[in-house]
């Protein structure tokens, strides 16, 4: 999901206090990413328990496909005693927030749907006068802060690019992880939004089905990767497995680096620079130099990909967006080239939201032109065709790309295009590693 660019959000938050209450020397957190049914969640969790590593933490990432969602979920245990919630893993925003309910007697609410702060002894809403809160603005606090008023919680409002909004109290909690050696690790002073009012398609619509909140993994100081980064080497990585496979393979989000695996992965990893856009400090930008179809470079002017002086344009890598969205001039070229080369018949009816769809009933295994992106530094991302042609209905496949709808927005490499690759976000070195071989090891 794309958060609105809130440059101010990032300038400010002072050091976010963060402490690990555990004797174990945990070097990374490994969280399963879930993209499937409750049944599959269980599957990933048991897989998770069978992983043997040294002291470490691992949480599942689940595909939201079970709920009709194109998102990947991470399970977060928050509060005392811990309440388990599923959050959308989102590199396109910073705030971590959960749906909150102020119920006193919550036995009427279904568990695992909402966070119940009154059922947690460690819930602590920041006071509006605290620096952590003042630094959160803008967006402006809905009410001016009264310093002397005792119960004056830190209200936040966090907008997403499509107009969706979450608002509530910016708060602090304890979060708990199981390590792979069955120890529990608690992290204190974890800052998150307790979302009492959430509106708009990104946070209430179909793509949000099954989710209880968002885990922002962006570059800003309040994100999950920033709050935990200091402790775990300021790196994170994930592998989004193809959720259409059955059984669904387990995907993982790793905070820190999984040292035992580095040798295997590093030899096959390619890198490109993560570019910084001071006007949108949340996003992880990469630079596209050229796009190729069947190894033929498409005539797209390099300026189509650049970040201009107003901070517009550029290309971000976003786990919280499903399709790939491209600047209109690039999209037009790519679409036209695909249309020229894909010889399959069109479906009887056009498919809403897609400009190129084919009826594959006459082919046993359709083959599409090979798409590749040449990135800054010269590395090349070559997604398998299943990452850009997806089945939208029985025997109909469509090019999983759309033009960006706001002139100014960045192009977005969505999570479908990322499937099957290991992506490592190395924030200190400001580079993105990717490998098509890295997922097997996970």
Residue ranges binding ligand NAG (CB under 6 A): 77, 82, 105, 107, 146, 148-149, 176-178, 268, 270, 347-348, 359, 361, 378-380, 395-396
Residue nearer to ligand NAG on the CB measure, 143 or 408: 143
The Cα–Cα gap between 238 and 318 comes to 12
Residue nearer to ligand NAG on the CB measure, 86 or 165: 86
Q: Which two tokens stand for residue 416?
A: 């479908």
Q: b vs e for 310-340, b when ≥16 Cβ sit within 10 Å of the residue's Cβ?
A: ebbbbbbbbbbbbbbbbbeebbebbbebbee
Q: Which two tokens stand for residue 194?
A: 């307790």
Q: Which two tokens stand for residue 351?
A: 């498919």
Residue nearer to ligand NAG on the CB measure, 303 or 346: 346
Judge residue 169's burial from the number of C-beta atoms within 10 Å of its C-beta, 0-12 exposed, 13-18 middle, 19 or more buried. Answer: buried
Work out whether strand 411-413 and strand 315-317 pair parallel, antiparallel, or are unpaired.
Answer: parallel
CB atoms within 10 A of CB 191: 26
Residue nearer to ligand NAG on the CB measure, 149 or 197: 149
In the complex, what is the shortest distance from the CB of residue 2 to ligand NAG, in angstroms, rounded to a whole number?
28
Q: Specify which residues 315 forms β-bridges with.
A: 286, 411
Residue nearer to ligand NAG on the CB measure, 6 or 133: 133
The Cα–Cα gap between 364 and 233 comes to 47
Residue nearer to ligand NAG on the CB measure, 129 or 311: 129
Instruction: Catalytic residue, from 162, 308, 318, 355: name it.
Output: 318
Concatenating the DSSP letter of every residue in 324-385 gives: EEE-HHHHHHHHHHHHHH--SPPPSSPPTT-S-EEE-TT-SS---PPEEEEETTS-EE---G
Residue nearer to ligand NAG on the CB measure, 394 or 407: 394
Among candidates 186, 256, 183, 237, which has minimal Cα distance to 33?
237
In the complex, what is the shortest distance from the CB of residue 72 to ligand NAG, in angstroms, rounded to a whole number?
18
CA 75 to chain centre: 13
Is 318 catalytic? The answer is: yes
Q: Which two tokens stand for residue 107?
A: 């036995």
The Cα–Cα gap between 28 and 176 comes to 14
Is 94 catalytic? The answer is: no
In the complex, what is the shortest distance from the CB of residue 434 to ligand NAG, in angstroms, rounded to a whole number?
9
CB atoms within 10 A of CB 432: 27
The helix, strand and coil proportions of the chain, stated in percent and rounded to the nearest 5, come to 20, 35, 45
Q: Specify which residues 15 forms β-bridges with.
A: none
In the complex, what is the shortest distance from the CB of residue 189 to ligand NAG, in angstroms, rounded to a whole number?
17
Report which secondary-structure segment, H or E, holds 178.
strand 165-178
In the complex, what is the shortest distance from the CB of residue 320 to ligand NAG, in angstroms, rounded to a whole number?
23
Listing from the earlier edge strand, what are the strands of the sheet with 396-399?
Answer: 357-359, 396-399, 389-393
Residue nearer to ligand NAG on the CB measure, 112 or 149: 149
Q: Specify which residues 286 forms β-bridges with.
A: 315
In the complex, what is the shortest distance from the CB of residue 381 to ligand NAG, in angstroms, rounded to a whole number?
9
In the complex, what is the shortest distance from the CB of residue 235 to ligand NAG, in angstroms, rounded to a whole number?
19
In the complex, what is the shortest distance from the CB of residue 201 to ligand NAG, in angstroms, rounded to a whole number?
27
The residues annotated with a catalytic role in the active site are 90, 318
């Amino acid at each position: 999901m794309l958060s609105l660019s809130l440059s101010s959000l990032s300038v400010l938050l002072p050091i976010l206090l963060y402490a690990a209450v555990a004797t174990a020397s945990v070097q990374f957190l490994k969280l399963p990413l879930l993209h499937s049914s409750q049944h599959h969640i269980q599957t990933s969790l048991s897989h998770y328990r069978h992983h043997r590593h040294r002291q470490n933490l691992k949480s599942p990432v689940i595909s939201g496909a079970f709920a009709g969602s194109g998102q990947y979920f991470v399970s977060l245990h928050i509060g005392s005693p811990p309440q388990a919630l599923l959050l959308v893993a989102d590199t396109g925003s910073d705030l971590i927030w959960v749906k909150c309910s102020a119920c006193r007697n919550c036995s009427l609410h279904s568990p695992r749907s909402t966070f119940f702060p009154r059922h947690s002894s460690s819930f602590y809403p920041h006071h509006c006068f605290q620096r952590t809160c003042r630094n959160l603005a803008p967006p402006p606090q809905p009410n001016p802060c009264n310093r002397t008023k005792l119960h004056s919680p830190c209200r936040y409002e966090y907008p997403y690019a499509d107009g969706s909004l979450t608002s509530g109290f910016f708060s602090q909690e304890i979060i708990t992880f199981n390590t792979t050696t069955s120890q529990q690790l608690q992290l204190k002073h974890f800052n998150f939004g307790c979302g009492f009012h959430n509106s708009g398609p990104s946070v209430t619509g179909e793509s949000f089905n099954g989710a209880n909140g968002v885990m922002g993994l962006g570059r800003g100081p309040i994100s999950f990767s920033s709050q935990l980064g200091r402790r775990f080497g300021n790196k994170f990585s994930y592998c989004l497995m193809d959720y259409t496979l059955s059984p669904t393979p387990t995907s993982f989000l790793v905070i820190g680096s999984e040292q035992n695996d580095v040798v295997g992965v590093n030899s096959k990893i390619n890198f490109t620079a993560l570019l910084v856009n001071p006007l949108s400090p949340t996003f992880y930008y990469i630079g596209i130099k050229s796009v190729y179809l069947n190894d033929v470079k498409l005539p797209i002017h390099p300026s189509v990909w650049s970040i201009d002086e107003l901070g517009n344009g550029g290309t971000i890598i976003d786990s919280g967006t499903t399709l790939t969205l491209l600047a209109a001039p690039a999209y037009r070229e790519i679409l036209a080239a695909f249309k020229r080369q894909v010889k399959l018949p069109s479906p009887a009816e056009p498919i809403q939201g897609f400009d190129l769809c084919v009826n594959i009933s006459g082919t046993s295994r359709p083959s599409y032109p090979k798409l590749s992106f040449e990135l800054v530094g010269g590395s090349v991302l070559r997604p398998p065709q299943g990452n850009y042609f997806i089945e939208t209905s029985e025997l109909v496949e469509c090019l999983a790309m759309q033009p960006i709808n706001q002139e100014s927005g960045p192009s977005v490499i969505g999570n479908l295009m990322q499937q099957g690759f290991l992506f490592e976000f190395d924030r200190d070195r400001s580079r993105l590693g990717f490998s098509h071989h890295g997922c097997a090891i996970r």
